Structure 1
Amino acid sequence: MAKAAEEIQRQFQKEMDAFKANQVDSRKCLTARQQLEAQLTENKMVMEEMKLLDEDASLFKMIGPILVKQDFIEAKQNVDKRIEYITREISRQETSMKDLQEKQDKMKETLTKLQSQMQQFAAAR
């Protein structure tokens, strides 16, 4: 009976460690998603500003400390591509977050069962 209790204790600790690692991954995923949302908002604002300009307007792109003149159509295409990319990445992060949450829910169930078993062994002593 003592061996069974020790085995449950080891399994509980292993599950708890996995649960904590999952929480860390979830936080990283959430942070990445928030950064992507900020980038998306910024790029949408750029696109709105570009809609106000004529196609012959001068646009400059900052590369390091230097401003480089850029073609309007090329700049618009670049911003469109960035918005598409960021949107796909947000979707990917949301899928990852959902998967991590499902794993976390299963881990919680397992931890609850193990904790219940440990309490039963403690009560039997």
Structure 2
Amino acid sequence: MGSSSALRELQRELETKTNDHSKIQKDISKNHQVRKKYTIQLGENELVLKELDLLSDDANVFKLIGPVLVKQDLAEARANVRKRIEYITAELKRLDATLQDMEEKQNSKKEAIFKIQQRIQSLQAGKAKA
């Protein structure tokens, strides 16, 4: 009777750990999607900056604000794009750190799940012998 309740307890614990592991996997997937979006934006902004650097200082630059094109100073446009690149780069670093943390948590959950499965198997093997 004691091993039966221990087995049930282990199975509940296994279910909890498995659910936690699934949640971490979903979070990792979301992180990858956001990271992909930022990586694309970074590439686009770097391309814009290269194009702006090709222009002469007296070139006309326009910024799209809603449905309207508004004239913008070239130096201001370059500064805005550089700031955007800095922001995106910082966000990518933050996402990488978060991802690394989540992957470490995922690995520890995997190990915990594996240990619980081994304990369940040893309890079941003990029952089979009895």
| TM-score, reference length from structure 2 | 0.94
> What's the secondary structure of 1:29's corresponding residue?
helix
> What's the secondary structure of 2:39's corresponding residue?
helix
Q: By how many angstroms is 1:53 displaced? A: 0.1
Counterpart in the other structure of 1:54 = 56
Counterpart in the other structure of 1:84 = 86
> What's the secondary structure of 2:71's corresponding residue?
strand
Runs of 4+ in 1 over 6 A off after TM superposition: none
Counterpart in the other structure of 2:118 = 116
2:22 is the counterpart of 1:20: yes
Tell me the distance in 2 between the aligned counterparts of 1:101 and 1:115.
Answer: 21
Q: By how many angstroms is 1:55 displaced? A: 1.4
Give aligned pairs, total: 125
Q: CA RMSD in A?
A: 0.7
What percent identity do the matched residue pairs reach?
41
Tell me, which stretches of 5 or more residues in structure 2 are unaligned? none
> What's the secondary structure of 2:122's corresponding residue?
helix
Tell me, which stretches of 5 or more residues in structure 1 are unaligned? none
Deviations 1:67-122 (A, max 9, x none): 11111111110000000000000000000000000000100000000011111122
Q: By how many angstroms is 1:3 displaced? A: 1.1
Q: By how many angstroms is 1:2 displaced? A: 1.0
Counterpart in the other structure of 1:2 = 4
> What's the secondary structure of 2:42's corresponding residue?
helix
Tell me the distance in 1 between the aligned counterparts of 2:5 and 2:24.
Answer: 28
Tell me the distance in 2 between the aligned counterparts of 1:43 and 1:63.
Answer: 17
Tell me the distance in 1 between the aligned counterparts of 2:16 and 2:76.
Answer: 53
Tell me the distance in 2 between the aligned counterparts of 1:70 and 1:39.
Answer: 21
